[in-house]
Amino acid sequence: MIRFEQDNQKAYTLLLRIEIALRESLRISLESEFGAHWRKNLPGDLLKKIRDAQSEENKPQFNFVRLGPLYYLTFGELLNLLRQKAGRSVAEKLGGDCFLKQLESILVPRNALCHSRSVSSVGLLTIETLYAQMETALTLQGLTQLIANPDIGLRQEEAARDLIISLQQSLCGLPQLQAALEIPKAYESAVAQYWWADDSLAGFNRSRVVTAFDLILGYKSLPKGIGSAQFRQRFREQHNLDHQIEEAITELKRVKP
């Protein structure tokens, strides 16, 4: 065994937990403030860097797990974000300026670890102390929950599968003029992914999918109650709704697993 292997392994495990907890805390805070489209409220330079990094990772042969945008920021960029207005509430919850200084203090042992050097006993103690403080601030249960649920993005094939199922259900409900057609959560998640910005990355014509779901939303918004079926039938015919949904399904089937 390498002489400092055990210390480095322990340090790496704690650092992994620290960084996931920070990214998830920040995500939850931003989502609470800005809603589902919180990503758009990140600084422009960081958004560009995130999109470039995610596109670089779009290599099927490596089977990368698609993570949320905050996982594509370096530790230094994450630290800067915690200092800004967007991340200040997270920093305050964990200990304010004192906590941010402690985060800075682990940069040196973290760098040693990343370059296969000994983390050193002092470096390991620094990391352990920071982790213990986070556990106190978040509680053991709270920290465990953050670590257990990292922000894993939605793959194109996963989104296509879920959207196809939803669209097929809508298509089956149209002959009966069902009022309760649904917009699945997968649609909102898909629109938030980096690959939604470009047809070549998505693997399908997004405008046809958007058209279908916009029409379903319009259909859902029609009056309900006695005699309302006539409004749904008229909307269905005027907008050629069945065909638009079929077109969207055909597009989504182009996505390669």
Residue 169 within a domain: yes
Residue 33 domain flag: yes
- Residue 167 and residue 241 in one domain: yes
Cα separation of 119 and 8, whole Å?
A: 6
Same domain for 177 and 218, yes or no, is yes
Q: Are residues 187 and 137 in the same domain?
A: no
Do both 29 and 139 map to the same domain?
yes
Domain boundary among 148, 183, 214: 148
The values of phi and psi at residue 4, to 5°, are -105, 15
Of 148, 169, 200, which residue constitutes the final position of a domain? 148
Contact 79, 130 (CB under 8 A): no
- DSSP-H helix ranges across the chain: 5-34, 44-56, 75-83, 85-94, 96-105, 107-114, 121-138, 140-148, 156-173, 185-191, 199-202, 206-220, 229-238, 241-252
Residue 257 lies in a domain: no
CB 106 within 8 A of CB 129: no
Does some domain include residue 51?
A: yes
Domain check: are 13 and 70 in the same one? yes
Domain that holds residue 227: 156-252
Would 216 be classed as within a structural domain? yes
Q: Are residues 22 and 71 in the same domain?
A: yes
pLDDT along the chain (257 residues), means of 10: 88 92 92 83 84 70 70 90 88 92 93 92 94 94 85 82 95 89 88 77 92 94 87 94 96 88
Hey, what are 93's tokens? Answer: 């919850």
- Look at residue 70 and tell me if it is in a domain: yes
Q: Are residues 174 and 137 in the same domain?
A: no
In this structure, the answer to whether residues 141 and 172 fall within a common structural domain is no
- Asked if residue 236 and residue 124 are part of one domain, the reply reads no
- Assigned domain for 245 exists: yes
pTM as predicted:
0.66
The last residue of one of the domains, among 148, 168, 191, is 148
Examine the domain organization and report whether 66 and 86 are in the same domain: yes
Give the distance from CA 157 to its chain's centroid: 16
Asked if residue 128 and residue 179 are part of one domain, the reply reads no
- Residues 139, 28 share a domain: yes
Q: Residue 211: inside a domain, yes or no?
A: yes
Q: What does the chain come to in residues?
A: 257
Number of domains in the chain: 2
Question: Which residues fall within 8 angstroms of residue 168, CB to CB, at 6 or more apart?
Answer: 249
